[in-house]
Amino acid sequence: MSDLTQAEVIKEQIAKTLKELSTPKKPLQRSRIWQDPQGFQYLAVWQNAALLRVLVRKFTATLPFSERRLKAQLDDAARSQKRNIEEGWKRSTTSEYLNFLGYAQGSLEEVKGDLRDAKTDGFLKSIAGSSLLSLGINLRELKGPNQIKGEPTDPSHPYHQPLSTLNGHTLTYEIFMELINKTDYLLRLLVQSLEKKLRKDQKGYRIEQERIKEKFRP
């Protein structure tokens, strides 16, 4: 190998080393720092999702056997919209958390469509003015640490009593739409908040990348 070739190799190695040094490690984007592994239960959106799952089960129990496919689809979609919020909470990055919230939104929309079809087909009644309050369920109950936590069917939960005596035949299309629309709204707010955090993380990464490049620029 000639001296010239050796010099070129050394030069390339130096350039490669400088490039590696000038590339910052991409920061790990944590969805949230939590100490309570069940902390998602503090979220108002999860509380709504948990309540919706229970109400859907109450309703599907009233369906005739001929509608077993609708029952299975509704039960599964209601379970999925709740479970994806939980799984997203445990994911290590913001982008993963957002993906699971997207799945939750999709499942929520599936519940909405199936209930609309159930109304059209005469299995779910529509009563103008009916609401969750008429069932003794107030969505304005405070959520968060030292407030509501846990399943709505837990004895200590404020929704426990009305749910324990609730007859599925008293549920209406309007009651479901009230809960679904409010849950969808809270999901969109959470997504917007996490997207803002993700953009902030990405901006910080780009700034750090340019700073290190400037440091090693000849």
User: Is the four-CA dihedral 111, 114, 116, 122 of positive or negative sign?
Assistant: negative
Please list, in sequence order, all residues whose beta carbon lies within 8 angstroms of the beta carbon of residue 119, skipping any fewer than 6 positions away. Answer: 125, 126, 173
Tell me the pTM: 0.78
Q: Report whether 132 contacts 178 (CB < 8 A).
A: yes
Q: Alpha-carbon distance 187 to 103, whole Å?
A: 11
Is the pLDDT at 211 greater than 80? The verdict is no
Residue ranges of domains in the chain, CATH in brackets: 35-216 (1.20.1440.60)
pLDDT for the residue 217: 52
Please list, in sequence order, all residues whose beta carbon lies within 8 angstroms of the beta carbon of residue 159, skipping any fewer than 6 positions away. Answer: 51, 137, 141, 152, 153
pLDDT for the residue 85: 96
112-151 tens-digit pLDDT: 999 999 999 999 999 999 999 999 999 987 666 667 788 9
